[in-house]
Amino acid sequence: MRRLQDLAVSADPGSETWVDAATRAKELVELLEPFEAAEGVGPANRVPTLPGSGSLLMPPYAVTKFEADGVELSVEFSRFHVGGNSAVHGGVLPLLFDSIFGMVIHAAGRPISRTGFLHVDYRSVTPIDTRLSARGWIRAVEGRKAFVNAELRRPDETLCAEANGLMIRLLPGQP
């Protein structure tokens, strides 16, 4: 499915092939539609052993550390994530950081929390087709609030982007 996403945004076969591809995509929809499941039942964001925890929205990542003092991931963006010139679209990075923040909260044993804010500083171009490392941690805790940080680095340790945010523990009854 991920390779299909990449090709859907990067292939240039001509209109006849696109029509054929659309027909085949419709056939896949018809094949899978009877099995549509409720949130929390399908693989998206609930199967950590799948790339991107089973979410096609996320870049494929693998968790390499999941401990109370922080989490670490190995992640690789592809053509699907390009903003231009083989660089990752800037809007994709907050998605990754927000997911890391959620993992950090879970790894630390804190109750379910929601993002209060997320700030990203872009430090250098984030390349596609390169295995990157990401890590996140809790910087401070004040009651229901957890202040979190994360960073994304190239193999040579060049900082691509860093983020900080606020995760707020839900009150009873909050969705």
Are 81 and 110 within one domain? yes
What is the residue range of 31's domain? 1-36
What tokens appear for 10 in the block?
A: 């990067």
Q: What is the pLDDT of residues 14-69, one digit of tens each?
A: 889 999 999 998 999 999 999 998 888 888 877 877 888 888 889 999 999 999 99
In a domain, 54, yes or no: yes
Q: Which of 69, 148, 156, 161 is CA-nearest to residue 116? A: 148
Q: Are 58 and 96 in contact (CB under 8 A)?
A: yes
Report pLDDT for 88. Answer: 97
In a domain, 174, yes or no: no
Q: The CATH number of the domain where 136 resides is what?
A: 3.10.129.10
* Three-state SS at 110: coil
Are 128 and 157 within one domain? yes
CA distances from 77 to 3, 21, 64, 126 (A): 12, 24, 17, 9
Contacts of 169 (CB under 8 A, 6+ apart): 110, 111, 112, 113, 144, 145, 146
Are 13 and 78 within one domain? no
Q: Residue 121's CB: how many other CB atoms inside 10 A?
A: 11
Q: What is the pLDDT of residues 100-130, one digit of tens each?
A: 999 999 999 999 999 999 999 999 999 999 9
- Per the structure, the count of domains in the chain is 2
Q: Which of 175, 174, 134 is CA-nearest to residue 154? A: 134
